[in-house]
């Protein structure tokens, strides 16, 4: 029996144990939540609010890797939304908005919010 054959089974077992541990660790990583809401939900709601402000909402292309949301100390959410959309003159412009969000009413899945700043 060669050295490679001797260590094949222990290496396979160790590899499987390591992969199982990594998969369990990855499953424990969750986005920030507040009141049962997630950052992804807050970003989606903020995008709807921003679309309502655009002159040509059908041209909106959200820059997903630059959009984020985080809970605030007062139980609300603050989202940063970056979007490429046409201006009133037809030029594509990139704008950055900061949106404050909160539940429409207690226990609701609906959001309401306002734009705090934007280009």
**pTM of the predicted model as reported, rounded to 2 decimal places:** 0.68
Quick one: 21 and 66 in the same domain? no
pLDDT digits (tens, 9 = 90+) for 44-91: 999 999 999 999 999 999 999 999 999 999 889 999 999 999 998 999
Q: How far apart are CA 53 and CA 67, in angstroms?
A: 17
Q: How far apart are CA 3 and CA 41, in angstroms?
A: 54
Quick one: 63 and 25 in the same domain? no
Overall residue count recorded for the chain in this entry:
119
Q: Would you tell me how many other CB atoms lie within 10 Å of the CB of residue 118?
A: 13
Quick one: 56 and 15 in the same domain? no
Q: Which residues contact 84 (CB under 8 A, 6 or more apart)?
A: 60, 61, 62, 63, 92, 93, 94
Quick one: 71 and 83 in the same domain? yes
Quick one: 63 and 20 in the same domain? no
Q: How far apart are CA 47 and CA 98, in angstroms?
A: 10
Quick one: 78 and 109 in the same domain? yes
> What range does the domain containing 106 cover?
32-118
DSSP H helical ranges for the chain: 3-27, 39-51
For residue 28, the SS3 value is coil
Quick one: 52 and 62 in the same domain? yes
Quick one: 43 and 95 in the same domain? yes
Quick one: 106 and 72 in the same domain? yes
pLDDT digits (tens, 9 = 90+) for 8-49: 777 777 787 777 766 666 544 445 555 667 889 999 999 999
Total structural domains within the chain: 2
């Amino acid at each position: 029996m060669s050295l490679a054959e001797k260590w094949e089974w222990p290496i396979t077992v160790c590899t499987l144990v390591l992969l199982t541990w990594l998969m369990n660790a990855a499953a424990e990583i969750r986005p920030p939540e507040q009141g049962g809401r997630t950052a992804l939900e807050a970003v989606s709601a903020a995008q709807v609010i921003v679309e309502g402000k655009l002159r040509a909402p059908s041209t909106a292309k959200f820059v997903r890797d630059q959009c984020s949301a985080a809970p605030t100390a007062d139980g609300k959410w603050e989202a940063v939304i970056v979007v490429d959309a046409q201006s009133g003159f037809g030029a594509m412009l990139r704008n950055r908005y900061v949106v404050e969000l909160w539940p429409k009413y207690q226990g609701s899945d609906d959001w309401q919010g306002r734009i705090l700043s934007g280009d």
